[in-house]
Amino acid sequence: MKKSAFILVLALAVGACRTISLDYQQGLRAELNKNYDEAIQAYQKAALSHPNDSAYRLALFRARASATLYFLQQARTLVAQNKRKEAEVNYRKALLFDPQNFQASRELQALLAPPEKKDKNGDKLEGPVRLKGTAEPLNLSFRNEVSLRSIFQTLGRLAGVNFLYDDTFRDTNLAIDLTGKDLQQAVNFLCVASKNFSRVIDERTVIIVPDNVQKRMQYELNAIKTFYLSNIDAADVQMRLTSLVKTQYKVPTIQVDKNLNTVTIRDTPQAVALAEKVLRQWDKAKGEVLIDIEIMEVDRIREKNLGIDLSQGVLSGALIPESGVDSDGFFKLQGLDLGNLANYQMTVPTAIAAILATDSDTKIIAQPKIRGVAGEKLEYVVGQKVPIVNSTFAAIAAGGLSTQPIVNYNLQDIGITIKMTPRVHLEGEVTLEIELEVSSIAGQGTAGIPIIANRSVKNTVRLKDGETNLLAGLLRDEERRSVGGITGLKDLPLLGQLFSATKKQIEQTDLVMTITPHIIRPVEISEEDLKPLWVDPDNLSGVTGAGGAAGAVRSDLRDEAGAGGEPVEPEDTGASSVFLSPASFEAPRGREFRMNVELQSDAEIGNASLVLSFDPRILQLKDVLEGTGLRQMGNKAPFSKYISGGTCTIGFSTPPGGRGFKGRGVVAVLVFSSLEPGQASLGFTSATAGGPMGQAILLQTGEASVNVR
């Protein structure tokens, strides 16, 4: 039974009543035919004619809301069909009925707005200093192998740029064609081909540096940017963002502000630009739906009482002397004649002829409109709260038996309870997880405790926008028959009906419900969001030379004229990693458990700083203990810890006269307590280490997960 059927029922009901306004009846018929202009005019006349009747004002409000939603859906359908003119007309109709509808106004502005011109450099994060040179494309080609330093010298003379070189720069021979490239592209191509990278010192100066971990950390430009999130929790994206943005040689520094719901990241311009794109795609407003629910419950009770009811009296006898009793209610036994029947009284049952029959009907009609956010549970309850006795027993005194009753009352919802969780799909459909429960009082049990009859349905349906789902068949039919009378006599054929009474009761309940979802705010996905994000895992495309802050150049750097001596080789630090053990753990709620922070390194580590992140709603970090693996560094190795909410910072260094950490061992022990059930991820948002001589050491990080039951 759809909405039109309910409106038709109301129209027939009000049509039979002479006190209902004729304008109101005309508005109902127009609304049934979806002629909202006529319906709203009729409701307005009825409301003006009867200003004190709230039913007419509610009908006018309902018609305006239904008209706005109808034309908004029509406009979206026309936009999908690329019928922009017709869609504009429907958007304006929707705004005519509801001028304050922000969603319709925004969609109309987007429809009328001219297409945006794409900026080629719109997604590129530029540094504070850019390289300036000739703007004309280069006409430079080296078909035979030439010294890389000579190529840079030639390029510098043509573009008017000075090239400097790191002290570990190695010259090599190279053949390359730079025809048609601009200055920055030419520098990038040369760096990629020779396994170097560039850093802009000022507008006319570039330094060429060998591409390795140590030099990247020494020269590479960092950017800091804060992102203000509107729709997602900043604490939930910290771990995911770190795992996506980090490279094989560097983990970004990410800080979260829960008060402002912001994420601040410090990393290379390319990593910050990537984080911005990812956060823009994540920070989407959830879809919103308006769910029309129409409920009709019909209850019918038929009862018949036929026969002779003897339950109103009892058969009894009493001894009452004919002489009577005194003022105190006593009588004398002396001279009492027990054989005289006049001294006895007898009471016989009262016979009542029952020929009654009752028939009662009850109808409940409800038409709620519930607006909610996708992914959040919606609940609708219509009925009453019934107190249910919940008794417990306690001891009167300490150490005694539990004999003292303590009576509590729990209020339980009796009626119709609907719980729904909507999910909006990109195809314009809605998935509803529905839980329907119909409860009623079926009778009374021991001590008058009510007996509750319950019918429930759990289902998941996927409906189109505006499609109606019919839920029916929740029929309950109960029949009770009881016979009472005089034992033995009520079982006699034919004559037994004179000494008995029969009670027959039939209860019938039927429930019909329709659910119609309407998408009022879809998830806004643009064409740009559907495009892939290309990531260079090694960050070697030379784009790091796109900009850089003007800073001091190390005094031991040499320019192109001072190439002499053997270059210094960077230290081979080997493979180093830090991870959590065990990587997967399961614990019950309210239990304390421990996890180890293990470090493995082939190179000697003199100091390290680790930042661990976890979900504070599920886990609580109570303490951080020093691990046994640090004993190899000395007896009094400096060890520090700092716990703040969902993050923990751990640091250690080599004591004076000690040696660095090498090999594998436990550097810290984390003492956790499980708070709430759920899945929690633990990982390092930052992990830096240095050797005894100050050289940087790359640390690979591992993650762990904890499942709290």
**Tens digits of residue pLDDT in 130-175:** 777 766 788 888 888 888 888 888 888 888 888 999 888 888 888 8
The phi and psi torsions of 340 (rounded to 5 degrees) equal: -85, 115
CATH of the domain at 590: 2.60.40.680
Residue 645 forms part of a structural domain: yes
Residue 334 forms part of a structural domain: no
**Which domain does 395 fall in, by range?**
358-519
Distance CA 87, CA 71 (A): 9
Same domain? For 511 and 473 the reply is: yes
Same domain? For 500 and 404 the reply is: yes
Same domain? For 373 and 503 the reply is: yes
**Tens digits of residue pLDDT in 105-131:** 888 888 888 766 555 444 556 667 777
Q: Is 474 helix (H, G, I), strand (E, B) or coil?
A: coil
Same domain? For 661 and 535 the reply is: no
Check pLDDT > 50 for residue 65: yes
Q: Which two tokens stand for residue 631?
A: 């004993």
661 in Cβ contact with 605 (< 8 Å): yes
Same domain? For 214 and 226 the reply is: no
Same domain? For 384 and 469 the reply is: yes
Q: Which two tokens stand for residue 177?
A: 């064609």
Give me the mean pLDDT over the 419-430 stretch.
90
Q: Which two tokens stand for residue 551?
A: 């800073």
91 in Cβ contact with 69 (< 8 Å): no
**Closest by alpha carbon to 698, among 251, 283, 359?**
251
The H or E element spanning position 706 is strand 704-708
* pLDDT reported for residue 558: 34
Q: Domain boundary residue among 185, 218, 251?
A: 218
Same domain? For 224 and 205 the reply is: no
497 Cβ partners below 8 Å, 6+ apart?
307, 308
Residue 315 forms part of a structural domain: no
Residue 86 forms part of a structural domain: yes
**Closest by alpha carbon to 154, among 632, 560, 664?**
560
**Cα(first)–Cα(last) distance of the chain, in Å?**
43
Strand partners, 580: 597
Entry pTM:
0.57
Pairing of strands 700-701, 576-581: parallel
Count up the domains in the chain and report the number. 5
Q: Is 218 helix (H, G, I), strand (E, B) or coil?
A: helix
Distance CA 291, CA 700 (A): 50
Count Cβ atoms within 10 A of the Cβ of residue 410 and give its class: 0-12 exposed, 13-18 middle, 19 or more buried.
exposed
What is the side-by-side strand order in the sheet with 378-395?
378-395, 402-424, 429-444, 450-464
Distance CA 50, CA 56 (A): 8
36 in Cβ contact with 12 (< 8 Å): no
Residue 568, by phi and psi: left (phi above 0), alpha (psi -120 to 50) or beta? beta
HSE-up (13 A, CA, CB side) for residue 41: 5
What is the average pLDDT value for the chain, to the nearest integer? Answer: 78
**Closest by alpha carbon to 602, among 665, 689, 662?**
662
Residue 104 forms part of a structural domain: yes
Distance CA 539, CA 554 (A): 24
**Tens digits of residue pLDDT in 657-707:** 778 888 889 999 999 999 888 888 888 888 888 887 767 788 888 888 888
Residue 336 forms part of a structural domain: no
Q: Treating both helix axes as pointing N-terminal to C-terminal, what angle do 54-80 and 22-32 enclose, rounded to 10 degrees?
A: 20
Sequence letter at residue 523: V
Please count the residues of the chain. 709
Distance CA 195, CA 541 (A): 10
Same domain? For 226 and 211 the reply is: no
Same domain? For 383 and 509 the reply is: yes
Same domain? For 366 and 491 the reply is: yes
Quote the distance between the C-alpha of residue 608 and its chain's center: 37
Residue 601 forms part of a structural domain: yes
**Tens digits of residue pLDDT in 543-592:** 333 333 333 333 333 333 333 434 333 344 456 888 888 888 888 888 89
CATH of the domain at 243: 3.30.1370.120
Same domain? For 211 and 267 the reply is: no
Q: Treating both helix axes as pointing N-terminal to C-terminal, what angle do 54-80 and 36-49 enclose, rounded to 10 degrees?
A: 160
Q: Domain boundary residue among 218, 241, 272?
A: 218
Residue 399 forms part of a structural domain: yes
Q: Which two tokens stand for residue 461?
A: 């349906």
Pairing of strands 369-373, 619-626: unpaired
**Tens digits of residue pLDDT in 309-366:** 665 555 666 667 766 667 666 766 666 767 676 667 777 666 666 666 666 666 666 7
Give me the mean pLDDT over the 508-514 stretch.
77
**Closest by alpha carbon to 358, among 441, 300, 308?**
300
Taking the CB of residue 614, how many other CB atoms lie within 10 A of it?
A: 24
Owner of token pair 């094989």:
248
Residue 294, by phi and psi: left (phi above 0), alpha (psi -120 to 50) or beta? beta
Q: Which two tokens stand for residue 88?
A: 């504009």
* pLDDT reported for residue 559: 38
State whether the Cα torsion 640-582-257-547 is positive or negative. positive
**Tens digits of residue pLDDT in 8-30:** 444 444 444 446 778 888 888 88
Same domain? For 229 and 196 the reply is: no
